[in-house]
Amino acid sequence: MENSVLSVRHLTKAYGHRQVLHNVNFDCQRGHVVGLVGANGAGKTTIMKAVLNLVKFQGVVTINGQRVGFNHHRELTHVGSLVEAPGLYPYLTGRANLELFADATATQAQRIQEVSRALEIETVLDCDVKTYSVGLKQKLGIALALVNQPSLVILDEPMKGLDPQATKALRELIVKRQAAGTTFLISSHILDELQRIAEDLVVINQGRVICNTSMREVLAQNQHFLVIKTLQEDQAVSILRIAGYRVVARHPLRVKLRGKDVVAQILRTLTDHNIMIDDVRHEDGDLEQFFLHMLDQQEAQHA
């Protein structure tokens, strides 16, 4: 694709005799945040490692139109990444780790200050990394990925180990960099967080891309539910089912709202049968629901 910063074509990878990636194809458009989601062991980290040339693979990976491979890594100098545990020097300070990694240009000190301020690690920057907590090491790892202001950033589970304040700080930094044109490929199991920042979505299942879409599309497709709280759940379920409504769960009672369903009529159906309603709320589908639905569909197809 024309505006593609990262393009992955026919990516295949085997560990020994076990094939873990099967013909993976996707693109990351310039200035987009792309979410890579999949169950444990689906192949997300392996995809990232292949893009970064940390493992051998078959297929074609191009960054900014240039092929990346065993003998072609020039384009990787424009990529920042944090995949698995950050590689840090424990007996050096956070600042020294950043200085080792940051390009030695006139803006080095300014870039270090900007990224450490944004990730709120300024106050510990002159302490040895061996004294850092897990979350602090993670923040420093993210700072290393961002300090050279690369055009493509690859982050594997960046929110892992971060507290809510740090998660918010990271979100704000990603959004700011993205607005300035940086492209991100981010894997995460924290789907509500990914939903907030990602524009595009690649869903991986057992080493295959099962869905490549936009977040807008995901949320538009999502379903709407009415959640009803009552002490007479069993009775209410029967009444609603007899009346033709789609009850999808019992505890709490959830009714799927189809286009023709009117909330007032659902409630009247229950009150007409002397069901006491304690509470009612709307629930919209989200990325998590979409993801679980995709996996269910896959299981059903292979059953």
Give the residues lining the site for ligand ATP (CB under 6 A). Answer: 15, 20, 38, 40-46
Chain position carrying tokens 């990694």: 101
Q: Which is nearer to ligand ATP, 207 or 285 (CB)?
A: 207
> Are 135 and 121 spatial neighbours (Cβ–Cβ below 8 Å)?
no
CB of 67 to ligand ATP, least distance (A): 22
Q: Which is nearer to ligand ATP, 55 or 127 (CB)?
A: 55
CB of 61 to ligand ATP, least distance (A): 15
Contacts of 165 (CB under 8 A, 6+ apart): 120
* Torsion sign (Cα): 103, 94, 44, 218: negative
CB of 128 to ligand ATP, least distance (A): 29
CB of 141 to ligand ATP, least distance (A): 16
Contacts of 201 (CB under 8 A, 6+ apart): 34, 35, 37, 211, 212, 213, 214, 215, 218, 287
Q: Which is nearer to ligand ATP, 46 or 62 (CB)?
A: 46
Q: Which is nearer to ligand ATP, 40 or 301 (CB)?
A: 40
CB of 8 to ligand ATP, least distance (A): 14
Residue type, 52: L
Q: Which is nearer to ligand ATP, 112 or 186 (CB)?
A: 186
Q: Which is nearer to ligand ATP, 85 or 249 (CB)?
A: 85
Pairing of strands 33-38, 18-29: unpaired
Nearest Cα to Cα of residue 156 among 207, 204, 84 = 84
Question: 87-102: string of b/e by CB count within 10 Å (b at 16+)?
Answer: ebeeeebbbebbeebb
Question: 215-240: string of b/e by CB count within 10 Å (b at 16+)?
Answer: beebeeeeeebbebebebbeebbebb
Nearest Cα to Cα of residue 202 among 188, 181, 222, 223 = 188
Q: How many whole angstroms from its chain centre is CA 175?
A: 14
Chain position carrying tokens 């560990």: 15
CB of 47 to ligand ATP, least distance (A): 7
CB of 165 to ligand ATP, least distance (A): 25
CB of 139 to ligand ATP, least distance (A): 20
Q: How far apart are the C-alpha atoms of 81 and 184, rounded to whole Å?
A: 10
Q: Which is nearer to ligand ATP, 84 or 299 (CB)?
A: 84
Q: Which is nearer to ligand ATP, 86 or 94 (CB)?
A: 86
Q: How far apart are the C-alpha atoms of 135 and 147, rounded to whole Å?
A: 18
